[in-house]
Amino acid sequence: MRLLLVEDEPTLRTSLQAALQDAGYAVDVADNGQDAQHLGETEPFDAVVLDLGLPMLDGLTVLQRWRAAGRTMPVLILTARDRWHEKVTAIDAGADDYLTKPFHTEELLARLRALIRRAQGAASPLLQCGALTLDTRSSRVTMDGRPVTLTSLEYRLLAYLMHRPGRVVSRTELTEHLYAQDFDRDSNTIEVFIARLRRKLPPDTIETVRGLGYRLAATPA
């Protein structure tokens, strides 16, 4: 999953970026509203953490412009403003959730997980595909109750597919959602990680749809 973190305070931005990366996300960052607006309108993010008090362009205006442009990614507002009418204004502008500073990083991560699940129509933190289970809270994967050991990129790829069971996902889409913008992207590496995943999962768990991409198929329960 790929996130956009928009925060102008350097220390908080650095610590949040590290926490999000440790949680398995690919993270792009912006420290002002103009850059945030451009990234949000041109890059395919799975969710956004957006501060309201930004230089150049305030976060509320950025959010309004994203929604006016048809951008539908979940947005978690992060701000020091805690008056109820400001929360209402942000939600009416298109925000999906609201977290007031100071906050616990664990709460931010939990809210992000919930936003991403709901955006894909999943209510439970446990993603199930036949005998395969992925716990988004602990980043643990099991098959028939037995743990499956994955690297961070293998986990990120499998999580993206498990949020979209039965749907064909192209290599381009996987590349765009698994790596941050400044990463040296190579769609051929997706094939490498698919091959590694296949060695750790039952046969035919990940199907190749010729000319289109990959699809997660239910494994026998």
| Total number of domains in the chain | 2
pLDDT beyond 90 at 157: yes
pLDDT beyond 90 at 43: yes
For the segment 193-215, the average pLDDT, to the nearest whole number, is 92
88, 119, 150 — which closes off a domain? 119
> Does residue 41 lie in a domain region?
yes
Q: Are residues 150 and 212 in the same domain?
A: yes
> Does residue 78 lie in a domain region?
yes
Q: Are residues 6 and 105 in the same domain?
A: yes
Note the Cα 127 to chain centre separation in Å: 15
Q: Return the pLDDT at 185.
A: 57
Q: Return the pLDDT at 180.
A: 83
Q: Are residues 105 and 18 in the same domain?
A: yes
Q: What is the CATH number of the domain that holds 140?
A: 1.10.10.10
pLDDT class for 54, splitting at 50, 70, 90? very high
- Cα-flanking dihedrals φ and ψ of residue 22, to 5°? -65, -30
**pTM reported for the whole predicted model:** 0.84
67, 97, 119 — which closes off a domain? 119
The tens digit of pLDDT for each residue in 5-30 reads: 999 999 999 999 999 999 989 999 99
70, 94, 119 — which closes off a domain? 119
Which one is predicted more confidently, 196 or 90?
196
**Percent share of the chain, pLDDT over 90:** 62
> Does residue 101 lie in a domain region?
yes
Q: Return the pLDDT at 38.
A: 97
> Does residue 143 lie in a domain region?
yes
For the segment 71-98, the average pLDDT, to the nearest whole number, is 86
pLDDT, averaged across the chain: 90
> Does residue 221 lie in a domain region?
no
Domain with 152, as residue range(s), is 126-216
pLDDT beyond 90 at 184: no
> Does residue 92 lie in a domain region?
yes
